[in-house]
Structure 1
């Protein structure tokens, strides 16, 4: 993928969402810079600006090492925290106050981070922690706490999250 297409790969998915477009453009740019040590040195001021503006100013933690597929959507991104080791598939939706990351194990070590499939819609205030896999075409309800794997084509709700419904195919609807 050419660099311009890479920078704008989330633009269409976030139409009518200027904040989401701006944040994801800045995230893709910082991810592009992160690929080369020379670029990191040359664009160090931008890396610092990104950290202050997006992470501290807007309260959206999308680390530069995060692996996120195309078509990522952010709705109302305040208090959004995603660990740098998380893997996000294509066309994922992240809403406000979502936390995705590792957890501390009984022996004091940290678990692996979640792996999230494509077409996953994560509701507001959801928390996905630990070494879990979220399948493709999954909806995670608002306020859900996911600590176990969620199979494909499912709806998960509650604390701890449980699979509410499983169908042949669940289509994640995109808000406009």
Structure 2
């Protein structure tokens, strides 16, 4: 579709349905889901194991062909953990798999098809050893993981750093840098004179944010009718 043909009331109803689905089916599977979480197509979120905690005002985006998966599969009792902080963004296709511990701080952005793991999942010599070696992963505040980034076991990524698309991170990345490649290496330092704006700023005034979103929807969906929307669903034209 070239645009969203839904009438405003239908989009609002669908949003409420997604929120209700998240409360009924996603929240009970988690050890914590903070207030203000927004999940797009939450039926595409797949969860296995515990503990898994997600902070407040986290946005989780999914599509039918790029599900989001959170998996905790520990080798020993007391191990395995996924903790995602406040104001994070999780894009379609993200997979986070833990056998030891994965901690993602506030304001982090995980672009499409990012994979974060703290285990090898098979032994180097004993391939029947299904967990392999493990080591915790720590992603500090305000990190941006580019599209198709892979973060491997034992890695710490420092605050504010950016990982380029398609990178494979196998060693620590310092704060305030851009790293890219396979294996990822520092290619540039961030300008210390430039002010960093974090995702938390977007949520500073929730009431105003909601009003702005509703106003934008009113403007973008103005003139859409239920009949025309049904036409675009069942018999779309070249301009739809």
Q: Give the TM-score taking structure 1 as reference length.
A: 0.64
Q: CA RMSD in A?
A: 3.5
**For 2:183 and 2:22, how far apart are their aligned partners in 1?**
30
Q: What is residue 54 of structure 1 aligned with on the other side?
A: 45
Equivalent residue runs for 1:10-159 within 5 Å: 30-32=29-31, 53-55=44-46, 59-63=67-71, 65-75=81-91, 77-78=92-93, 80-84=94-98, 85-104=101-120, 106=124, 109-159=132-182
Distance in 2 between the 1:69 and 1:143 partners?
24
The question of whether the paired residues in 2 share the 8 Å contact of 1:137 and 1:170 is answered with no
Could you say if the C-alpha distance between residues 24 and 93 of structure 1 is closer, same or farther in structure 2, counting changes exceeding 3 Å?
farther
Q: Structure 1 107/87 Cα, relative in aligned 2: closer, same or farther at 3 Å? A: farther
Go from structure 1 to structure 2 and tell me whether the alpha carbon gap of 1:61 and 1:151 turns closer, same or farther (over 3 Å shift): same
Q: 1:170 to 1:124 in 2, by over 3 A?
A: farther
The verdict on how the C-alpha distance between 1:145 and 1:33 changes in structure 2, with shifts beyond 3 A counting, is: closer
For 1:86 and 1:143, the matched residues in 2 are separated by 20
In structure 2, what is the Cα distance between the partners aligned to 1:24 and 1:166?
39
1:166 to 2:189 alignment: yes
Q: Which whole-Å CA distance do the structure 2 matches of 1:72 and 1:142 have between them?
A: 18
Shift of 1:172: 6.3
Task: Using the TM superposition, give the Cα deviation of residue 24 of structure 1 relative to its aligned residue in structure 2, in angstroms.
Answer: 8.2
Structure 1 spans left out of the alignment, 5+ residues: 1-17, 35-49
Structure 1 residue aligned with 2:225 = none
Per the alignment, in what secondary structure is the counterpart of residue 29 of structure 2?
helix
Distance 1:144 1:73 in 2: 19
* Number of aligned residues: 139
Query: Based on CA coordinates, which of the two structures has the bigger radius of gyration?
Result: 2
Cα shift at 1:102: 2.3
1:117 Cα deviation (Å)?
A: 0.2
Q: Measured at CA, do residues 110 and 165 of structure 1 come closer, stay the same or move farther in structure 2, by a change above 3 Å?
A: same
**Secondary structure of 2:46's aligned partner:** helix
Separation (CA, whole Å) in 1 of partners of 2:196 and 2:27: 26
Task: Give the TM-score of the pair, scaled to structure 2.
Answer: 0.48
